[in-house]
Structure 1
Amino acid sequence: MMICHCMAITDGDIRRAVDWMRAADPDTIITPGKVYRALGKRADCGGCLPRFVDTLKGCDKFEVPMELRGLRRDMTQGVTDEGRRKGN
């Protein structure tokens, strides 16, 4: 199925890119931007991004590696000021 008409990207293209990226680096976090770059393309109008992300989520190898899950939550746990300065 055609996902992005502007760049002529199909769901098969996305799945193959995800499989290739996961095989190349099992610990990588796969993002839409990385998939576009792997395909040698870029987002144009952005109208396809909701369908693009849904297709990514449907890929078997899209998951975040187990050792990276919850990483952001652990880094900020207990921090209340988010690193902001106290004054103006």
Structure 2
Amino acid sequence: MIVCHCRHITDRDIHSAIDWMRAADPATIITPGKVYRALGKAADCGGCMPLFLSTMRANDNTGVPMQLRGLRRGQQEGAEYEGRRQGHRVP
């Protein structure tokens, strides 16, 4: 099925690119931009983006690798907060 008419991208192209990226680097986070780059193309009008994303989500290899899940949560729980104090605003 053709997903993007502007760039002539099919669902098979998207699935092949995702499978190739996962095989090349099991720890990578797969994004639409990376899929476009793997195909040697770039988004044009963006009209295909909803279908492009749903095609990506249908692939089992797009999940976040286990070793990368929960990193943000883990950093906040175990580390001391280094941001501004709550009273940093001028009244």
Asked if these proteins are the same fold (TM beyond 0.5), I'd say yes
Q: Aligned partner of 1:58: which letter? A: A
What's the counterpart of residue 68 of structure 2?
68
Gaps of 5+ in 2: none
The question of 1:30 aligning with 2:12 is answered no
Q: Alignment identity in percent?
A: 65
Aligned equivalents of 1:20, 1:42: Cα separation in 2: 18
Contact 1:76 1:82 in 2 (8 A): no
Go from structure 1 to structure 2 and tell me whether the alpha carbon gap of 1:11 and 1:67 turns closer, same or farther (over 3 Å shift).
Answer: same
* Deviation (angstroms), 1:19: 0.4
Describe the superposition over 1:20-67 as per-residue Cα deviations: whole angstroms up to 9, x where unpaired.
000000000000000000000000001111111111110021111011
What's the counterpart of residue 13 of structure 1?
13
Go from structure 1 to structure 2 and tell me whether the alpha carbon gap of 1:76 and 1:3 turns closer, same or farther (over 3 Å shift).
Answer: farther
Go from structure 1 to structure 2 and tell me whether the alpha carbon gap of 1:43 and 1:76 turns closer, same or farther (over 3 Å shift).
Answer: farther
Gaps of 5+ in 1: none
Go from structure 1 to structure 2 and tell me whether the alpha carbon gap of 1:82 and 1:45 turns closer, same or farther (over 3 Å shift).
Answer: farther
The question of 1:53 aligning with 2:53 is answered yes
Q: Aligned partner of 1:46: which letter? A: G
Go from structure 1 to structure 2 and tell me whether the alpha carbon gap of 1:84 and 1:4 turns closer, same or farther (over 3 Å shift).
Answer: farther
* Deviation (angstroms), 1:83: 4.0
Go from structure 1 to structure 2 and tell me whether the alpha carbon gap of 1:84 and 1:33 turns closer, same or farther (over 3 Å shift).
Answer: farther
* Deviation (angstroms), 1:73: 3.3
